[in-house]
Structure 1
Amino acid sequence: MYLYTRFHEPHSYFYEGTLQGYASELTKDLRVVNGVLTADVQDSTIRRIASHGGYFIVLDSAGQRLAGSTDITKALFPLDEGRYFRLPANDAHPELYGISRQIPRISPPAYVQIVFPVGDIVFQTVVHNLMKEVAWIWIPFLLAVLLTNILVVRIGLGRLARTVEEAKHVQPAGAMVSLSEEGLPDDILALVRTVNEAFDRLRDGYRMQEEFVADMAHELRTPLAVMMVQLASVDAPHARGLERDVSAMARLVEQLLDRARIGRLRIESPVILDLREVAREASAFLAPQVVTRGKMIEVVGEERPVLVSGGRDHIFRAVRNLIENAQDHAPESSLITVEVTDCPAIIVRDRGPGFPAPILDAERRRKGDVRSERRDGTGLGLSIVERTMMAHGGALDLRNEASGGGCAEMRFPPLMI
């Protein structure tokens, strides 16, 4: 409203303001020395007036020229104390708008006249007056708007930081988790809700996949058990080889069931257990199988109890999978070591070829890609261990020993008593 009121009459205010401004500048260059009026107009003022197509002249009381534009030798308009005037267009110049003004506080009297083409100087005047009259408010206003926008963006997106962190920790086994929608801006909230709906669809697909695997494994258990019994009663050279193959298939089915259970694992009622006992039980359970295959197994570590909180059966199955993985890849007559440390952790070492480089990548395993690339490996065992440790708030660390062989460490969070 202020700008409209201030600048809505360009043909009057703009022209007159420009003419008054230039007239004031010319007045500053006039001096009276010993009663004699002199005009020493600066070259910059002359050039600026000429650049806009203007003309000026300074006259004494007798109408004699004291200074002025080139070729202007006489008054442009009859001398007057202060009057605006127009000069019609002709072959020499377009229509001109000007002022004839007596210079104040000078004796004897003197006059200044200045003209500009109509319409040529309006834009310059608008900018000049705008900068002079509103820039002192406009610049702080722009800064305030900029700072306000920055503050609003930081506050609005600051709430999104929590959602970003939640998204970073979404895992295949944790598809039940949805991103937080609390306190988000409406535009961002719509996006987050769409993502959560996608998570719901993924959750349904994930559940259907797990149910299919579990159903398939259940259906295979009975016929495989029948085949094992029938092969045991067959006294033929090829029967033993078939028996080993069927046994491996039965173990694979059992791992599929474990993997399906682990996908939905939530430790809702954890118990306090001693890792030494779990390690000994798993080692004792597999010892006959290890010895039959021409290898040895030992349990070493802490003499004092190493207590953690979790599901005993799930941890037992995880240790069992690591020992089976070790015995599958350890050379004949070698030793498999199961160590319990007070970190707390269970470490299984073998003297085999070690783990290939891709599987040692913790980030790759975090995303669920923990498939074994060692000979005859399906990767289900390592996947079961990885998911078990995630459910217990721990981690699975795989590395190769400098002396040779693979090392798998199940690290648990310390027991909070």
Structure 2
Amino acid sequence: MHESRAHRRPSLRRRLLLLLLLPMLLLLLIDAVVTYGVALNYSNEVHDADLADDVRTLAQMFRSGKVSGDLPAEARFLIEYDPDSHNYYSVRSSRRGLLSGNGTFPEPPAPAPDAAPELFYSRLSGRTLRAASLSLRAPDDPGDVLTVTIAETLHDRQQRAREILLLAVPMQTILILGALSLMWLGINRGLRILQPLTDRLAAREHELEPITGEDVPVEILPLTRTIDGLFERLRAMLSLQERFIADAAHQLRTPLAGLRLHVDRARAAHDAATVHDALDHIDQLTQRTARTSTQLLALTRAQSPWTERSSHVPVDLARQIPQAVGQRVPEAIRAHIDLGYHGPAGPVWVLGDAPALQELLDNLIDNALRYAGRGARATVTLLPLPDGGVLLQVEDTGPGVSAEALERLGERFFRAPDAPAGGTGLGLAIVQQIAHRHGAQVAFGNAPEGGLRISVQFPAPAKS
């Protein structure tokens, strides 16, 4: 149970909801801060207006002559009374000093007489106060200026702002939860657009056709195109497998039938000469079958779509080719063919797959040794080109190939009509496929001395 929870499959719905939930929570936090700021600003404006009205009322009492000095107890109670905080006041005379007050707090310079109330911040006993001050001329002494100031703490302002915030946040939370619920429903409904694609894939049995259609959403096009690419590679692999099976059945049918025939012949023979001749034929057919199987496998590897050119590494042909030629010299001697090599002393680099290039070179040399004939010469030449490319040539002095046959060299299972027996018709096809994988060009032609010349031109390595 715990293991299944720990390995719970990822959910696109949950992921989308979480990606939306976190910004929503951040938005709610930002909105709460902004709401509190707006509410506090509104509360300050309302309280400032009330504070200005209070100082005007108190000034009017002095202007009408109802109060000449200290405030009556009833007036002080109305000014000071606040259930949540405390208010302060002071009345100062420019000639007589402080006439009345319940707190000494710093005041700015007195405003001009009969001007609008001036609002300012002040401090008393470590608390911040918001004050309103107004000046008027004393009724009993026109030369005297009275300054009336009323101040209050900020507690009530902040309390009103918090009350507004507590009213707004629940409503905003409900709105966000509602929005998330609608988003959840929208995500569920939006994901239904994948259902036609799912149904189309479920209805398939052995088809590997592309799945990208007009009903595929833009957001999953990269996924469907990747799947289409996978299907294409699978089709190529299956096609290669089917071709290999068909080629193997076609090419091995004749030697296997010959093997069966000579086995029956050897069994029915009553003399040693006939048995020996049948065994010689069986040996030849066995070698032919083994070579055909090897060539078929080599061609399949060369045609494989799984080998990428991006995996190629630098290969020094000036070192690899002489070694390959040297290994075939004993075979050339037995065939009475003069096998040689011409190339530069320094390294010659190409980007490629070293085993595949070895396979290419082996098939070129094998083609020359097999078809050049006794007494011929076969020369392997390596030549760096001015553009950075490399030219590999295998040339012999054998009978050559007719113009009609030259056009078909490199086709699978094609052999020139006058070619000696024993070949499979796959060697040059393997050369073609390996060269194609390396971006090289293969050209077939007759040499000046009448033999066959096969040229493989490798491109210059790409500059990074």
TM-score computed with the length of structure 2 as normaliser? 0.40
TM-score if structure 1 supplies the norm length?
0.44
Which has the greater radius of gyration?
2
